Amino acid sequence: MRFLKKNVISIVNEHLIDYPTPINIHYAWNFGFLSSICLVVQILTGIFLAMHYTPHIDLAFISVEHIMRDVNYGWLLRYIHANGASMFFIVVYIHIFRGLYFGSYTKPRHWVWLIGVIILLLMIVTAFIGYVLPWGQMSLWGATVITNLVSAIPLIGNSIVSWLWGGFSVDNATLNRFYSLHYLLPFAIVAASLIHLTLLHQDGSGNPLGIDSKVDKISFYPYFLIKDFFGLVIFLVFFSIFIYFLPNTLGHPDNYIEANPMVTPAHIVPEWYFLPFYAILRSIPHKLGGVIAMVSAIAILAVLPWIHSTEIRSSRFKPVYKFLYWTLLSCCFILGWIGGMPVEDPYILIGQLASLYYFLYFLVIVPFLGKIEKELLKFKY
């Protein structure tokens, strides 16, 4: 027991107290800490919600209403969990775009970035199957549309869809297995997050200058711990506004209608944090091509450290890249907007152009911009 206590104390001291931290990191580095807070909140509220939820197509919708109306502070638990998913994605997306801006994906932190992409994939799967559990109209039809995409796989696609459903449509078997997976996957995210953190602390955190230095570092405690907790207070205020004043703003109103397989909603859309990927899917008229494009839009992030060509990490010293970065960010917002629009002109064309730029950025601009910068530097000097 004494040996165990010593190990625990040494781990806490190494990673939370004496951990050498670059002196010049700012609040953009808070979002890794905030994402861990969001994960803990989601797990805790999810456990308490699971105590009152019934994974059956005849009772799931009613059990959610029971939580909201009859369980003490059940409304609070449900609103924290539902809005917490959105907060989690907001924090993680900012965390990712900070990494893109400051080149945090380059060596020696390439494995940290790769594990981060795996965490994002686990989050997407967990959030998708969690959206099915309230068993509203958008839950049922969203699950039907998204799982049907697997049928685009040649030869075995239809068999995989039937296996996912546990039958011939999204039904009780589907709801049960999605409930089980939704309970299990957050703990896989915890495991991946611990690996992510361990790898990060092995090579040390990056900084806005993109320069590794062993000199300009101070201990994590108390300076950056206080900074993280200040950021947490601001985040909780922002989170609380949605919980207490705008609890249903980020959700879809059709999900307050009980699932009915006989009535198809006029416009089926996923949650807002999936809309950019959904827009990429819809921008290609071929079903299999759309699925490949959507999966590639996420997978391309994983290979970014190996296709990156510039030796300068931070965008602070790359004005051309900085402009293109903000163009990419604008493109992602456009894709999010297009994903929520009907499939008609001019939204189809705008979505196709935005999707094209998204892939051009990662497949053309990122690999070749570094080489162009090197040539320009040679020409200058």
Residues with catalytic roles:
201, 205, 227-228, 271
Distance of CA 59 to the CA centre of its chain: 30
Cα torsion 106, 108, 111, 116: sign? negative
Report which of 327, 223, 338, 345 is spatially closest to residue 281, judged by C-alpha positions. 338
53, 63 in Cβ contact below 8 A?
yes
Structure tokens, 294: 């959507």
Report which of 42, 44, 140 is spatially closest to residue 89, judged by C-alpha positions. 42
Listing DSSP states for 274-308 in one string gives GHHHHHHHHHSSSHHHHHHHHHHHHHHHHTHHHH-
Cis peptide before 108 (omega within 30 of 0): yes
Count CB neighbours of 369 within 10 A. 18
Task: Give the whole-angstrom CA distance, residue 66 versus residue 45.
Answer: 16
C-alpha angle 227-229-182 in degrees, rounded to nearest 5: 125
Residues 6+ apart with CB under 8 A from 306: 110
Distance of CA 247 to the CA centre of its chain: 20
201, 304 in Cβ contact below 8 A?
no
Task: Give the whole-angstrom CA distance, residue 232 versus residue 225.
Answer: 10
Task: Give the whole-angstrom CA distance, residue 166 versus residue 168.
Answer: 7
131, 139 in Cβ contact below 8 A?
yes
- Terminal C-alpha separation, the chain: 63
Radius of gyration of the CA atoms of the chain, in A: 22
Name residue, tokens 């604008």.
Answer: 330
How many alpha carbons fall within 13 Å on the CB side of residue 211?
A: 10
